[in-house]
Every structure is written in C-alpha cells, then in structure tokens.
Amino acid sequence: MHLPRPRGPLSAAVVGVMSGRAVLDEAALAAEIEALPETVDVLVDDDFHLALWTLYELHYRPFDDASQDWEWEPGLIGVRRALEERLLAEVRFATSEWVHASMAARGDVAERLFALTEMVPGTALTSYLHREATLGQLLEYLQHKSIYHLKESDPQSFVLPRLQGPMKVALAELQYDEYGSGRPQQLHQTLFAAGLEACGLSSEYGAYLDLVPGPTLAVTNVMNLFALRRTLAAAAMGHLGAFEATSSEPCRRVAQGCRRLGLPDTVASYFDEHIEADAVHEQLAFRDICGGMAAEDPQVLGDLFLGAAAYLYSESLAGTALLDAWRDGRSSLLPDQESGNQSDLAAAVAS
C-alpha cells in the first residue's frame, strides 16, 4: 500500500512526515488539532480522518513508501493522541442521549445492548442495495467496505489480552470463527478479497483508500480508537457487539442485491456467511463478552453503551453519505486522480 494522497493540512503533515519530506513539529500540529475551526466536523471530516487513519494503519500493514519504524515514534503518537481526544469528545457528545437512556434502562445488560441497537436510527442503505441500487452503486459499496473488510476482525484481536477469564475465551471463540475456524480459505478477509476480485475490483490492501470519503474512514477510526486503547476495551467490545448485532439482516439484503444485479456468487456468499456467523457472534459479543465484563465490573457499563452507540452512529453517518450522493446522482467515491502525484503532494505539504 502507498501513502494516501493528502486531503488537507492535517493529512498533508502526517503523510509529509511519514514519507520523509517534512520534519514533524509535533507541538504545532497538536495545537492546530486542538484549535480546529468549528467548520471542521470532527466526526466525518476528510482531512481529519485520513490523517488519523494513516496513523492507525502503522499498527497493521506497511506503507511501501514510509519507514515501518514510525509506528512507535513518540511525536506521531502525540499527534494521534491529539486527534483521538478530539474524536472521543465528539463521539461522547453525539451519543450521550442513547448512552444515558441505556444507563437508565433496567434489566439484563445484553438485552439493554440489543435495545440500544434499535434505538439509534440507522439508514436505508442495505434496503436500497437490496432493491434499487445500480450495479455501479453496489460496486461502490464494496469499495467502501474494502477499507475495513480486508482487515476484518484484526482490530478486535488487540483487545484479547485486555480481557480475562470467560470474556477472553468468548472473544477468542468469536475471532476463531472470523479467522476461518482453522480453514485458511474461510478467513473472512480472504472471502471478502475473493468477492472483490470476482466482480473485477482490486483486492489489493488499501487499493481504494484514496477514493473513500471521511465518513467511511471514520467508521474504522472509531473502531481503532477503542480497540487500541486498553482503558477503552469495554467500548471496543460494545462496538463489536453492535456491529455483529446489526449484521445478519442487512447482510441478507446485500446478498439479495448482489444476486438481483447478477454479481458472481462469490460476492453474495460472503454476505451469506455473515447472516449465519453474525447471528452467533452477536450473542457471544453481547452476552458472553459484554455481559461478562459488566458482571465483573459494573463501572464499564457506560463504556459498553458508548462503544455500541458510537458504532451505530458512525455507520449511519457513513451510510447517509452514500445515499445522499446517490440521491444527488453523484458517485459516493471521491474523484479518481492518479494517486501518488508528487507535485500535488509537495504542494499540500508546503501549504
């Protein structure tokens, strides 16, 4: 994967440093992040989320044009931390209504988490994909999904050592299924890659990074915000549960949309697999993991709800961006300029 094309001052600074073209002024950048103008919507902003996405990616796979040692470079960790603090504050604010309602509700933690998934308004994205989307729109959807699904379940693996006892066992059980249950050809990442290839898209990791807008990047950034920070492990697991609990029914609709449009069965079968798998995973995540964490330490309850609501809200912002673009007759992807355009990059870094 190559470093992305910058979309503004923050991503230009991060990419500039990582490519070795600029020297990091961590304090200046952190101050800039703290003082972002109100016009910047931290929940979805293109530049903000590309900068954060690129920093998180250091923990996953290498960029061909950046040193891998940036992963633990204190200055970049400081910049990441500044971005994260802004994002976390916005996410808390945006979800507070649902978190409070769930805290005030009585009864079983798992049932309250399931109820929360019905509380946060979703979008009609998968219904649209089921019945109305054009072939081009469904292919766009797969390109958005490639940002996460080519590393599907990897963020949650960072949480394993932070859970103990039965909750660790339950997450391992869930992850084992995501990772193919001992069969490499069934690794969910591989199933998704095969689906991309079957319909003529690239399965290369990061191939569509330059095309996906801020709201799509924000979905994985929120996931990483929780998954990589030990003190937010409960939010990571609430997030995982909400993901799994809102997957089976939408996956059935997407699979039907794929078949309606005559896409190869390889694509539809990825979604078929998730109808059944996620009907198991939602139970493991909400009952065994989240329920277990709350029973062990009631203090984590708020973070479980925060994580769940944050997932649902970020996913609905991303879905809304797709539907809005299509309603306006536009592509939901960014214009395809030749990536790695050196003069563009130089100009952005200099600005």
Partner 1 sequence: MTGPSPARKRSVVVTPCGDGGPVLVRGADVVQDAAGTSHVVTRPVVAVCTCEKSQRLPWCDGTHKAVQRGRRRRDDTA
Residue 188 in the binding site for partner 1 (CB under 8 A): no
Among partner 1, Fe ion, none, partner that 178 touches (CB below 5 to 8 angstroms by kind): Fe ion
Residue 152 in the binding site for partner 1 (CB under 8 A): no
Least Å distance, CB 186 to partner 1, is 8
What radius of gyration do the chain's Cα atoms show?
A: 20
Please name the residues in contact with 332: beta carbons below 8 A apart, sequence gap of 6 or more: 137, 140, 141, 144, 213, 321, 322, 325, 326
One residue of 21, 81, 168, 252 binding partner 1 per CB under 8 A: 252
- Distance of alpha carbon 55 from alpha carbon 300, whole angstroms: 27
Structure tokens of 90? Answer: 């916005």
Least Å distance, CB 326 to partner 1, is 25
Residue 88 in the binding site for partner 1 (CB under 8 A): no
Q: Can you give the binding site for Fe ion, defined by CB under 5 A? A: 178, 188, 244, 278, 281
Query: Judged by CB, which is closer to partner 1: 154, or 177?
Result: 177
Please name the residues in contact with 175: beta carbons below 8 A apart, sequence gap of 6 or more: 153, 156, 157, 160
Write the interaction track for partner 1 spanning residues 99-138; mark x where CB under 8 A is met and - where it is not: ---------x-xx--x---x--------------------
Among partner 1, Fe ion, none, partner that 282 touches (CB below 5 to 8 angstroms by kind): partner 1
| SS3 sequence of 165-196 | HHHHHHHHHHHHHHCCCCCHHHCHHHHHHHHH
Region of 45-53, 71-79, 196-204, 275-283 interacting with partner 1 (CB under 8 A): 275-283
Q: How many of the other CB atoms lie within 10 Å of CB of 187?
A: 16
Among partner 1, Fe ion, none, partner that 188 touches (CB below 5 to 8 angstroms by kind): Fe ion
# of chain residues touching partner 1 (CB under 8 A): 22
Structure tokens of 153? Answer: 């379940």
Structure tokens of 113? Answer: 């988490």
Return left, alpha or beta for 286; rule: phi > 0 is left, psi -120 to 50 is alpha, else beta.
Answer: alpha
Least Å distance, CB 110 to partner 1, is 7
Residue 284 in the binding site for partner 1 (CB under 8 A): yes
Contact residues for partner 1, defined by CB under 8 A: 108, 110-111, 114, 118, 173, 176-177, 181, 248-249, 252, 275-280, 282-284, 287
